[in-house]
Structure 1
Amino acid sequence: MRYAVAIDIGGTNTRVALIDEELNIISREQFSTDNKEPENTLNEICHIIKSFDKDIVGVGMSCPGPLDLINGKVLTPPNLNGKWHNLEISKVLSEKIGKPVYLDNDANLAGLAEAVVGEGKDCNIVQYLTVSTGLGAGFVINKEVYLGAHGFANEVANSIMIQDGPSHGNILPGGIEAISSGTAITERAKKAGLLVKHAGEVNDLALSGNEVAAGIMKDAKNYLANFIALIYGFADPDIVILGGSVALKIDGFVEEIEALVKEKVYGVMKPYIKVRKSTLNEDSGLIGAGYLAFSKQK
């Protein structure tokens, strides 16, 4: 049996998992990320890999973006600071463990897992969108992540859907993440005076007849459907898979999005619109990272 290591570096925690070639998670560890000094985090990763006591073929790794995926480099993520910025992380970790390291972002790796063992496993062209704290995406063709010319393919959060529309954080006004993500839904509701903690509560208010909440949810769904319709018109995927807390926890969300998308495309395209809910759990990124490492050995 061959093994790979999957790593998910977050601004708060880092997860490291041992994956077998059937993409089962054999073992995993989690620890707090040192978000100022990468050396401490990388040394702990090395210690965990050694503790697995297996001969691994390589490492797949996700890290907060923006990333230079062509050169395996962390750029300027807002939740990692100091020496993390412009770190050639693939090269540095590879030198420490003596194995190849392949960097990608979490949405790409989740999309890869969907295309290999999830809802898209029988499809050639898979579009994945996570609708959660943010809004991320991954595009997979024949079980391989499409990176684009410079590694920025599917960095969609700033895609402008409303001129001079809502914004939050470093998202441009009217960006899809500032309209349809869980954070956007919640923040828009709070600014309108609603006492809510998350997008699910906004949806509950909408269902109970609150007009403000209903308008916010209508925007979130309608513009997400607009965005997916654009994807179908441009890339013609076999399937669009939605993951993340908003898509998975709000009843009927995905089904409503699919119905809306069908209203926004040419009639001849309607039979081919397939928007589905992810059936993988929060480990999809780790599974995708493991598959990435194995796929590079073929």
Structure 2
Amino acid sequence: MKDKRIVISVDIGGTNSRFALIDENFQIVKSLTHPTVLYKKDEFVNSIVESIREICSNSDDVVAISLGIPGPIGNKGHVIDLPNIHIQDIPLGEILSKEFKLPVFIRNDAEMACFAEAMLGHGKNYQRVFFITISTGLGGALVVNHSLKESPHEIGHTPYTFQGQTKFFEYFASGNGLSNLAKIYGLEIQNSYQFFKLVENNNTLALKTYEAWLQIMNDFLLFIKEHYHPDIYTFTGGVFNSKEVFWNDLIAHHQDLNLQVCYFDQNAGLIGAACYAFTSLDN
């Protein structure tokens, strides 16, 4: 009996990074999570190498390494910039290829997650699938007819003006951005989980911030609708740990749009990276 192929799938986040062995049935065989190293380039790279070594130490069926990275990627898996990790210019594809002697696939993390939703998840029966992640940052990607060729570049960094401040959507609407938004209303928060707990408890300042956040998300979705014309929008990210607070309100603001929580939820990035690797190897 032929052994199943395994991909080492990696989802780098602004807070934590996840590593998994995923088989051809897209089952997670093994996984681990480590805090993401910030600011220090060499330590960041070493942490990825050591985590890959750790997770594949007893597997002889690994055929590729595939990573989703929260930033723009150049040729040969060259990481151009990781805004929320505060590191730039890493020839990560070459480093990993040399270290592990395996094919290495690297794309933006939102693109990898979108690929999972378009190929295997809620978007598999649609032509234009838009994926949105609301976590440390705010990201998005587009798959058209199972291709990432038309996917936007760092959509969360699209310029946006709110109450006279011209920043970008991510600055106000991401998990970290909620802290910036809350300050406008005189509210100090530590993280999005705390913020949505305050909303649940009807804190006056939190409710004002929440209404502003819904409006900003409304503008973000309208921007996507006008420029990319998705058939379906799928969502995930760390902020969705509090989705019971806001999801119904978000849907109510957009009854004309097909909004869905990701089929793979928090595993969309890992599954997408594996799916992208298997698809690339087979083509």
TM-score (norm 1): 0.79
- Decide which of 51, 65, 73 is 2:57's aligned counterpart: 51
Fraction of identical pairs, as percent: 29
What's the offset of the Cα at 1:91?
A: 2.1
Kindly tell me: are residues 192 and 229 of structure 1, through their superposed partners in 2, closer, same or farther at Cα, counting changes over 3 Å? closer
1:95 aligns with 2:101: no
- Give the AA of the match of 2:100: I
Whole-Å separation in 1 of the counterparts to 2:20 and 2:216: 36
- Give the AA of the match of 1:294: F
- Give the AA of the match of 2:275: Y
Q: Which residue of 2 aligns with 1:267?
A: none
The C-alpha deviation readout for 1:164-194, integer Å capped at 9, x for no partner, is 744xxxxxx3311122222222333245333
Moved more, 43-52 or 21-30: 43-52
What's the offset of the Cα at 1:56?
A: 2.6
Matches within 5 A, 1:223-234: 223-234=216-227
Kindly tell me: are residues 24 and 220 of structure 1, through their superposed partners in 2, closer, same or farther at Cα, counting changes over 3 Å? same
What's the offset of the Cα at 1:89?
A: 1.2
What's the offset of the Cα at 1:258?
A: 3.0
Whole-Å separation in 1 of the counterparts to 2:175 and 2:48: 31
Q: Secondary structure at the match of 1:19?
A: strand
The C-alpha deviation readout for 1:64-107, integer Å capped at 9, x for no partner, is 42x324431112335657xx742221122112222211101222
Q: Which residue of 2 aligns with 1:192?
A: 185
Whole-Å separation in 2 of the counterparts to 1:260 and 1:80: 33
Q: Secondary structure at the match of 1:108?
A: helix
Whole-Å separation in 2 of the counterparts to 1:138 and 1:161: 18
Matches within 5 A, 1:1-298: 1-10=4-13, 14-31=17-34, 35-37=40-42, 40-41=46-47, 43-45=49-51, 47-48=53-54, 50-65=56-71, 67-78=72-83, 85-146=88-149, 153-162=152-161, 165-166=164-165, 173-190=166-183, 192-194=185-187, 196-206=189-199, 210-251=203-244, 253-262=246-255, 270=256, 273-298=257-282
Paired residues in the alignment total 276
Whole-Å separation in 2 of the counterparts to 1:203 and 1:31: 25
Do 2:5 and 2:24's aligned partners in 1 also have CA atoms closer than 8 Å? yes
What's the offset of the Cα at 1:239?
A: 0.4
Do 1:226 and 1:261's aligned partners in 2 also have CA atoms closer than 8 Å? no
Structure 2 portions without partners, runs of 5+: none
The C-alpha deviation readout for 1:257-284, integer Å capped at 9, x for no partner, is 233235xxxxxxx4xx201122424222
Pairwise CA RMSD: 2.9
What's the offset of the Cα at 1:12?
A: 6.1
TM-score (norm 2): 0.82
What's the offset of the Cα at 1:200?
A: 4.6
Whole-Å separation in 2 of the counterparts to 1:224 and 1:154: 18
